Each structure stands twice: as structure tokens, then as C-alpha cells.
Chain A
């Protein structure tokens, strides 16, 4: 293969926990464009995990093989061998189905002209959101980017609030002022929703800093809030990513950096943009563990997440987790998605995280088909209700335009008559001339 790639052991792993065999590696993702320079995609998916090293610095490079050792045998009926309890299994299933159904409804609503602008859907990546966020407490913070609907839902923001926000109504979680790419919730500690990639990572670092500050300066000894920052493969070539890895490791901030590596940044293949595509390796360069995990498998993600979040809670510092995942739809609803190889898409579609979890639950006798179907139905009702609610909600009035520009509206200044502009009751219907 290409000499431009580092030498890699192509380890062919025996498939996901559900026992599915992976097919042979498909043609390179950028098959038509493959050249010695660009390398090929399958090498990334099937190899590149060094043996676990111990004893050298405190940096440990974990591999998802570790998780596999805990995997139950398929025929085991002893519940102590299983990775999850029934309640957990149903919770994970419900959360992923909520995410998937919501996003599918978004697509429908978009094409019906109910929501506008740039809408980025999360189909296929649910295992990452569910795997991490379902382990968090309400006080823990989540920072996302523009593909944030499902992060919001997993964190606890109601489907009604998210759908209303997408419709641009006042009942939205951000009063209709944020939109698809700017989901915020103070109640659930969702710190956004950012349109520029990378700009949320320093915010997450700041939230982790506050947690450490509370513990050490304000002496709130039991403050162990963790922050999880989600971002994509494209962001990993951005300066803010590296600057924050440095600061987080330097000050041992309670943060987990989660890379949702879906191999594509709009139309730019990760391999065409990155000199060393193995993102997890960049963690140890800064003094934190770097972990690579199969992001299509919610149970594997959850195991890695437990360890990473646990590390942060104990004050041991940050972790970089690279989740190999895939988005089934285009980058956004406006993306014709012409560059991705259909074979690659089919390969990942076969590893649908929801299908896989369902199979696991049924085969491990954690729940019955009927119970899962009941969850499907419940979610359908929730989503329908969310759409109805959003439809019925009022659109923002003119007076809302100037609200919330400043936390303290004195910031609009003193008008020619000597009074603060905000003291005029009709101010928000006027203009913000300063």
C-alpha cells in the first residue's frame, strides 16, 4: 500500500458485539481519487492499534480490545456477564431511538418548509451521544457544535423545546434565537451549539476550569462536575483543539474530549486533510490518554466513557476519545452527498448502532421484542407531540428582537433625554442605535 502511511498492523477483528461479521474492506472511501499520496480508507478502520503499553509515563493508551475481553459469550444467560442491566439497556435503546426518530422528523419538516437554514442531522452517530451523555449527571456540562440536536436530547432537553427552537418559535430552548446550530440549556447544562468548529472546545475547557476552581478555590469539596466536549474529525486540524488539549492536560481539568470521527468534513475526507489520521494518538502527545473506540457500538463507547468520565471525576485529568462513527445522511440537508462511496455507506449502514443494540438486548434476553416496540411507539408519540407543540407555538414578536442582547440592558446606553434607553417601555420595539 501507500508508503506515505505509517506501517500498520491490519488486525481483522471478529465483528461487533452482536456477532456480525464485518464484510471485506470496501474500496477506498475516495476510491476514484485514491493515489499513493492519499492512501486508502480501509487501513484506518481495520488496524492501527498498538499493543497496550504499561509502565512508561502515566500516559496509558487503551484500546477497545480491552472492552472486548469483557464481552459476554453469546450463549451466556448469566446476567452478571452482561455489560448492562435491563433498565440500562432500555434507557440506551430509548435514547438512541429518540435521536434517530427526531432527526428523521427534522428532515421531513425541513422539506415541508417548517425549518430553514443549515440543519445537520446525526443519523448513525447515536451511539456516541447516548454512550457518553447517559453516564453524566445533570450538573455535568456538554458542549457540542452544529450537529447538536441529539446531544441536546440525550442531555435531557425536551423534544418539544428542541423542535420549537428549530421552527423558530418563542417556546424553543433558546426562544427561537439560536436555531439548529445553537442549542443551549442552562437547566441541563448544555453549553451549545456552535457554528464555527473548534470554538466550543475552549468553552468546554472553561466549564471544566470552573469545576476545578469550585473545588480548589471556593472549597466546594464535593464538586466533581465533568465536562464533555464533542467535535468532529475536521476540528482536529484546528488550532483551538490543540491549544485546549494543552491547557486541559496542563491543569488536569475534568474534561473529556470526544472526537466523532465520521471520516468526512462536508466533502473533505479525513485522510485528505490530515497528515496523521489517527486522532487518538494526539492525546499522549499532550500528556493525556488517547483512546480509539468503535463509535457504532454503544456498549463499547459506554465502557470507554465510564473510564474517561471516571478519570475526570477523580481529578486525574482529561482524556481524548476518538469514536469511529459515520453519518448516514449528508453533512447537512443541503448537501447532495455525492462524494462518499456507496460501498462505504453500505458498510456502515450494516453497523447501525440501534439495530446492533436491539440484537444484543434480544439475544441476551434483557427484554422482549414487545417491550422494544413499545418504546418505538412511545418515541413516535413524543416526536409527534413535539411537532404539534412547535406548530402551535407562537412566533417571536417584534419586541423580542432587542431582548437578551445584554444581560444588563443598561448596556444600550443613555439616550439624548438622559434616561437609559432600556427604561423606555417601548424600547425593545425600537432600534438599537447607540
Chain B
């Protein structure tokens, strides 16, 4: 925001409150109430307003207090955000960033625990990224703001308390590249967002058992970085996808199709996809735990895959 006066933030409670997860804390004091705009509770309209502002020269960042609320903005995100650059014949660009916390939290109930990556992924004209560490959160956010394309940045409710040393100097990550988390030889595990941590936890167990998994955080949910992924598949010949998204029509489903299409010859076994259950997230702690993929399941899946 300091670098470019056209960058502004809009959303519910982003200003005086500092954001429901304190992401925008202190910004309103520094930049004023118009640049960090507290909106009324009207997601569809203020997202549309952000899109109109983007079309006329600003670079807004729209926050969904919880990603689930952005379902109310689906009209604007699908029709206007995704489409207008195309239907205007390239005349208007929409450099907007739509971000917010999503995913399954700690017993927040079904509506606050939604996994919306799959819902948005088919919209033509948008890019989707998911951050998972403080380092890539900052880099991806900068890249998203600087990009002339509309970007949906998926944050996760449970990852806001992570602490990490990050470089002082400015850095910007690529929106389209995946991140190699742990190089390995036996199996390629593709994951993103919070599941990365479950995967790394399972990886510890797997290493103790003698396996050498390669873990890639795909980061770019749309489009997929088929180069990094492809190179990995060509090396290990086995793929496991671990995601928090639902099984039906999810990111994993698309990724399975993409890998099968492009790297079929390199696979020694069918791709295994571990997704969360196709249920509305239950409130009860135990049920909620069984909804998402747990490290134990990942270990079992790798063992099966590597037989």
C-alpha cells in the first residue's frame, strides 16, 4: 500500500477493527478510512464495487471476512470479475485481489468451515492461489496485488498464528509456480494450504519407516504448475494428492485429470487422491476430525501406493 497509492482495501471490519483475523491491523490508522474501507454487510455489492473500482483504475483488495461469505458475492466474482476483461474485448482489466480465511477450523460449524476452492475453480478468467506459510503468504500477496489479473487468494483460518523468519528485503513470488517443500524419490505428494502441515507430519513418520516422499505445495490452484509437478512425476512415478477440498469436483479431481492427461506414461500406479469428506463440516470435534484428512491416513496411503 505504501508503494502504490492506487492499492486499497475493502471489506467488513477491515478498518477500525483491523480485520477479523487482524490481517489489516493498523492499516486504517496509517492510510485512512477511504483506503481501508469498512463496508456494510453486502458482499455481492461491495465486491462488485471493488470490481468497478478496479475497472476504473484502482487496485483494490476485497476481503471476505470468511471465505464462505464470498458465496454471496458469487454473481460478481463469476460474471464480472472473471468475465469482463474478455467480454469487453480486452478494454478493461480487473486487477483485484479477493482474499479471506477459509477451510475447516476448530469447531466453527458448517457455514464457517467451507472449502470453496472447488466452487470457484471453474470460473474462466481468474487465478487462484493458496498460501500456507508466512513466507509464501507475503510473497503471493504481493504478487497478487501487482498482477493485472483478478486473483483469489485462499488463506486458512488455522494458519494465522504461524511464526517464521522472513527476509527483510522485498520479495515477490510467482503466482503460477509450485513450491518444492521436501525433495524425495519414492512418491510425489501434492498438497496445499493447511494440509501441507498434515503431510509434513506424516512425512516424518514415513521417513522413520524408510520412505522418501517428495512433497510439493502446489500453491497455484488455478492454473496448475505442470512443470514442477511433471518433473516430480517423472522422477517418482507415484502420485498422492492430499487436499482439504471436497472429493467431488475438487482441486484434487482436476489435478488428477491434468496429471493423467499429461504424464500418463510416467505413472506406475493410479493416482491416489485424499480429500475431505463430502459432508458439511460437523460441529462435534471428533466428527470434524474425521472430515479432513489426518496424517495417519496419509501414511497408510503412501504405504499402499509404494507396495
Q: Which residues of A contact B (CB under 8 A)?
A: 141, 143, 172-179, 182, 184-186, 191-196, 199, 201-207, 209-214, 216-218, 239-240, 243-244, 246-247, 250, 403-408, 410-418, 420-421, 432-434
Q: Could you tell me which residues of chain B, from 23 to 64, have a CB within 8 Å of some CB in chain A? A: 32, 34-35, 39-40, 42, 44-58
16 contacts between A and B (CB under 8 A): A178-B87, A184-B84, A192-B88, A205-B52, A206-B55, A209-B49, A210-B52, A210-B58, A217-B34, A239-B44, A246-B40, A246-B42, A407-B148, A413-B220, A416-B227, A416-B262
Residues of B within 8 A of A240 (CB): 44-45, 48, 75
Q: How far is the CA of A186 from the CA of B46 in the complex (A)?
A: 22
Closest chain A residue to B96, Cβ basis: A206
Interface membership of B198, Cβ < 8 A:
no
| A218 and B5 contact, CB distance less than 8 A | yes
Complex CA–CA separation, A199 to B89 (angstroms) = 19
Q: Are A414 and B85 in contact (CB under 8 A)?
A: no
Contact B8 A213 (CB under 8 A): yes
Q: What is the chain B residue whose CB lies nearest that of A420?
A: B176
New contact pairs (13) apart from A191-B56, A217-B35, CB-CB < 8 Å: A143-B52, A174-B91, A184-B88, A192-B87, A202-B76, A203-B51, A213-B34, A243-B40, A246-B40, A407-B94, A413-B222, A414-B176, A415-B227
A218 CB contacts on chain B under 8 angstroms: 5-6
Q: Which of B44, B53, B95, B124 contacts A209 (CB 8 A)?
A: B53
Q: Judge whether B85 and A407 touch: CB under 8 Å.
A: yes
B212 within 8 A of A: no
Minimum distance in angstroms from B226 CB to a CB of chain A:
5
Q: Closest chain A residue to B178 by CB distance?
A: A414
Which of the residues A191, A195, A407 comes within 8 Å of B93, measured between beta carbons?
A407
Are A175 and B76 CB-contacts (below 8 A) given A191-B56, A434-B222? no
Q: Quick one: given A202-B51, A206-B49, A406-B125, are A185 and B225 in contact (CB under 8 Å)?
A: no
Interchain CA distance A413-B37 in the complex, whole Å: 32
Q: How many residues of B contact A (CB 8 A)?
A: 62
B88 to chain A, nearest CB (A): 4
Is B263 interfacial (CB 8 A cutoff)?
Answer: yes
Contact mask B56-85 → A, CB, 8 Å, 1/0? 111000000000000000011001100011
The interface residues of chain B lying within 8 Å CB-to-CB of A210 are 52-53, 56-58
Task: Indicate whether B283 reaches chain A with its CB closer than 8 angstroms.
Answer: no
Kindly list chain A residues whose C-beta atoms are within 8 Å of the C-beta of B225.
413-414
Residues of B within 8 A of A141 (CB): 56
| Contact between chains at B46 and A202 (CB < 8 Å) | yes
Closest A-B pairs by Cβ, 7 of them: A206-B52, A202-B48, A413-B223, A175-B89, A184-B88, A434-B223, A243-B45
